[in-house]
Each structure stands twice: as C-alpha cells, then as structure tokens.
Amino acid sequence: MSTTQDFNRLGEEIAQAYEHRRLLKEKMQRDFSEIKKGTAELIGSLSENRAEMGHTLRVGLQQFTTDLGSQGDKRREGAMEETRQRMAEIEALRADMRQMEAETRSFLEGLESAHRAMGESLKSELAEFSATFGSQAREAMDNRVEEVETRRGDVAVMRGEIRSFIGGLNKTRAAMESARKSGMRAFEEDRKAGVQDFLDTVRTEHQEMAAAWQGVLAKITSVLERHSTPPSQGGTARQETGTQADGAGASPAAAQGDSGDVSRLKAEIAGTLKGHPDGLKMTQVAEILGIAQWRMLIPIMRDLQDTGMICKKGALYFSE
C-alpha cells in the first residue's frame, strides 16, 4: 500500500518537475527574444547616433579650423605689433645708454681733474707737514731722551734706597729672630723649671699624703679587722670575749679617732672626684691619694655610694 503511494507521489513530482521545466524553458525563450530585440534596437540606435555624431564632429571641426585660422592671423598681427613696440623700446634704451655713457665719461673726466688737483694739494700740505713735524719730532725726541735719563737717575736712587731698606729690614729681622730665639729659650727654661717645681711640690705633697694615709689605712685596717673577725669555739671564744672586754675600755677614744680618719678619707675621695668631672676608676683614686692597696677603699666607696655622695657608672666613679 505504501509502495503504491510512493509511486503515485513520485509520478506527481515528476509531472510537476516537467511542468516547471517547460515553463522555465518558455520563459527563457521569451527573455532571449526580448534581449535579441533590444540588442537589434540598440545597434540600430547606435548606427543612427554614430552618423549624427560624425556629421556634428565634421561641422564642429570645420568651424574650429576656421576660428583657428582667424585667431592665428590675429595672433600674428599682435606679435608683429609687440615686436615693433619692443624694437622702439630697445632704440629708446640705446639712446638712454648713449646719454648715460656720455654723462659717465664727463663725470670721470671731472673726477680725474679733481683727483689731480687734490693730489697736488695733498703733496704741498704733506711737504709742509713733514717740515713742521720733523722739527717737532726732533725736539720731542730730545725731550724724551732727557726725560729717560732723568728717570734712570731716579731709578738708580730708588734702587739704592731699596737696597738700604732691605738691608735694614734684614738686620731687624735677624735681631727679632735672635730675640725670639732667646725669648723662646728663656720661656722654655722657665717652663721646665716651673713644671719641675710643680712636679716636686706634687711629689712632696703626695709623699706626705701617702705617709699620712698609711697611718690612716693602718687604723682603718685595725678597725676593719676588729669588726670582721668571726667568733671562735670553746676557749678561743672565751679568750675573744676577754679580749673584747679588755678592748671595750679603750674602745671609745680609739673608735672616735678612727671615725675621724675615715670621715677625712671620705671627704678627700669626694673632693678628688669633684675635681675630675669625667670620672675616675678606684685604682686612679688610690693612686692620686697615695694609697698602695686600693682594695682598702672598697668599703669606703660603697659607703659613699650608699650615702649619695658619689655614684658609679660602669667602672668609673663620679661626684654627686
């Protein structure tokens, strides 16, 4: 059943395609006929236009040739007229040039005569000037020579004065140099003597202070030893007790003397540090005060720090 329908549909499509092809062929034939007809009409129109255009061109060319001939005649006539005018102008220029040449020749002749007259005048004036200038030049030269001789004499006198001045200046400088050297030697000797006196004085004071401080240190050492000795056992303790008891009777006066020495030592340490604002080490303080055992100053320096009289920054001690 489906095959029959397919064949029927195929037959219809074939019929439609044939009809379409027939209509297309008829249309193409009509279009070709119209194109052929239009082409024939165009060719005929072109033939007619070409004949008309050829006629128009021939007429225009003939007219152009006629106009060109008439214009050529006019141009030739104009050129001839211009040539005649130019020739007239050239003749006028030639006449002007001849006149200018004559005027120039006349001017040159006048200039030459004036030049000759001027030359004669200059010669006479030059001869007169030479005569006058010669006498003046000789007089000026004589005056100049005399002036030069005078100046030479003045220069010789000035040289002598300068030599004498330089000699006196050298003598003065030598005397000043000798005086300066003598003064420097005297100053150096005085300085050395003063320094030596100062060193001797300082050395003497240090020796005296060292001797005094040795006694102070001995007392300080004895005080520190009494206060720092630990108690012994048994009989030793009793013996120490007895010793302390014996010393107790003499203790007030001795303790008072030791306390005064320590106070003076503290004052000396504080004064020494105050005189050295950049600070001193403990060894430097001991050296200045003439103390051989600087470690003896440790408790005193600590006590001064505790009381706020001095302070310590690193290894240096400063006065407050």
Mean pLDDT of 258-274: 82
Beta-carbon contacts of 222 under 8 Å, excluding residues fewer than 6 positions away, are: 258
pLDDT at 247 exceeding the cut of 60: no
| Integer Rg of the chain from CA | 75
Alpha helices (H) along 275-293: 282-289
Beta-carbon contacts of 219 under 8 Å, excluding residues fewer than 6 positions away, are: 257, 258, 261
Give the whole-angstrom CA distance, residue 184 versus residue 186: 5
CA dihedral 225, 294, 307, 215 (to 10 degrees): 60
Confidence band (pLDDT; 50, 70, 90) for 14? confident
pLDDT at 208 exceeding the cut of 50: yes
Mean pLDDT of 103-120: 80
Tell me the longest C-alpha to C-alpha distance in the chain.
179
Average per-residue pLDDT for the chain: 76
Give the whole-angstrom CA distance, residue 134 versus residue 282: 105
Looking at per-residue pLDDT, the higher value among 3 and 180 belongs to 180
Angle at 142 between CA 136 and CA 148, to 5 degrees: 130
* CA distances for 271 relative to 191, 302, 303, angstroms: 28, 16, 15
**Listed range (85-89, 121-125, 159-163, 275-279) with the worst mean pLDDT:** 121-125
pLDDT at 227 exceeding the cut of 60: no
pLDDT at 23 exceeding the cut of 80: yes
pLDDT at 47 exceeding the cut of 90: no
Looking at per-residue pLDDT, the higher value among 267 and 124 belongs to 267
The SS3 call for residue 292 is coil
Mean pLDDT of 111-120: 80
Mean pLDDT of 21-45: 78
Lookup result for tokens 């600087």: 294
CB 282 within 8 A of CB 298: yes
Mean pLDDT of 244-251: 39
pLDDT confidence of residue 260:
67
Give the whole-angstrom CA distance, residue 205 versus residue 289: 10
**Beta pairing, strands 310-313 & 316-319:** antiparallel
pLDDT at 56 exceeding the cut of 70: yes
* CA distances for 251 relative to 121, 219, 255, angstroms: 143, 13, 6
Lookup result for tokens 């103390």: 291
CB 317 within 8 A of CB 310: yes
Amino acid at 33: S
Give the whole-angstrom CA distance, residue 154 versus residue 146: 12
Tokens found for residue 18: 């044939």
CA 211 to chain centre: 69
Looking at per-residue pLDDT, the higher value among 209 and 88 belongs to 88
pLDDT exceeding 70 applies to what percent of the chain?
A: 79
With residue 316 as reference, give the H or E element that holds it: strand 316-319
With residue 319 as reference, give the H or E element that holds it: strand 316-319
Tokens found for residue 67: 């106009």
Give the whole-angstrom CA distance, residue 185 versus residue 258: 52
pLDDT confidence of residue 224:
66
pLDDT confidence of residue 231:
45
CA 74 to chain centre: 85
pLDDT confidence of residue 257:
47
